[in-house]
Homo-oligomer: A and B are copies of this chain.
Amino acid sequence: MSLYPMSGNFVGIILEAIKALDPYRDRLRIETDDISTLMVGPPDVLFAAMRDLFVSAAASGEHCVLSAAISRGCPGEPDDAICGVGLSSSRSEPLAERVEAAIAAVRDTTETGQPTAAQFSLYVMGTGTHMDEIYGCIDFLKRSGTFDRSKNFCTKLRGDAGAIFATIHEAFHRFGDPEGHVTLDITVSANSPSKA
């Protein structure tokens, strides 16, 4: 995960924003270098931490972007124990039921007050049915309330930061084989001077 404040005060904005991670630190393994920060932990904690970090940085009023690659089930790198139990057996529910559950989860999310745009790609690897899961996820996204439009190779969202991160969280944990290798490439933006 990387946070990009488009400001000469980017260091100050980042140092202030990372305080928002404090409530989550005991449930995450966090390592930072000059390019990005690794966060390892359960999906619900990870997405809440990213949301709070982003909302805190965006509150500066500067154009801020959070970019992240999110992975589960990588065959070369088993998930750490800190990630908790595997995805529940409910992930083996039929695709249509998972779509409805994901829509409900986004609808029930608390607002943050931060208008946000985002785009992301979902990669489901190592299975012959990966496009079925992606199409199921796209169906969910179109009915999520945050759908903006389909773009080449990704989906664009718009809405409150709470709903945006909830949508991405649902896409990540509810689609693809529960034990499979699934990754997301996400870009979340606030306060852009560009027209939408």
Q: Which of A's residues lie within 8 Å of B, judged by CB?
A: 2, 4-11, 32-36, 38, 40, 63, 65, 67, 69, 71, 74-77, 117-119, 121, 123-128, 130-131, 134-135, 151-154, 156, 183, 185, 187, 189, 192-196
Known: A4-B4, A123-B183, A134-B76. A10 touches B63 (CB 8 A): yes
Note all chain B residues with C-beta closer than 8 A to A119: 35-36
In the complex, what distance in Å separates the CA atom of A38 from the CA atom of B71?
24
Are B63 and A117 in contact (CB-based, < 8 A)? no
Which B-chain residue is minimally distant from A10 (CB atoms)? B6
Which B-chain residue is minimally distant from A65 (CB atoms)? B4
In the complex, what distance in Å separates the CA atom of A78 from the CA atom of B21?
41
How distant is A18 from chain B, measured CB to nearest CB, in Å? Answer: 13
Known: A67-B67, A69-B121, A125-B124. A36 touches B187 (CB 8 A): yes
**Copies assembled:** 2
> Pick the contact of A8 from B8, B77, B151, B153 — CB < 8 Å?
B8
Are B77 and A33 in contact (CB-based, < 8 A)? no
In the complex, what distance in Å separates the CA atom of A135 from the CA atom of B76?
9
> Pick the contact of A35 from B118, B126, B185 — CB < 8 Å?
B118
Known: A6-B4, A6-B10, A76-B131. A152 touches B121 (CB 8 A): no
Are B69 and A154 in contact (CB-based, < 8 A)? yes
Q: List 20 A-B contacts (CB under 8 A).
A: A2-B187, A4-B4, A4-B65, A7-B7, A8-B8, A10-B63, A32-B194, A33-B194, A34-B189, A35-B192, A36-B119, A38-B152, A67-B187, A71-B121, A71-B153, A77-B153, A124-B125, A125-B125, A125-B126, A126-B130
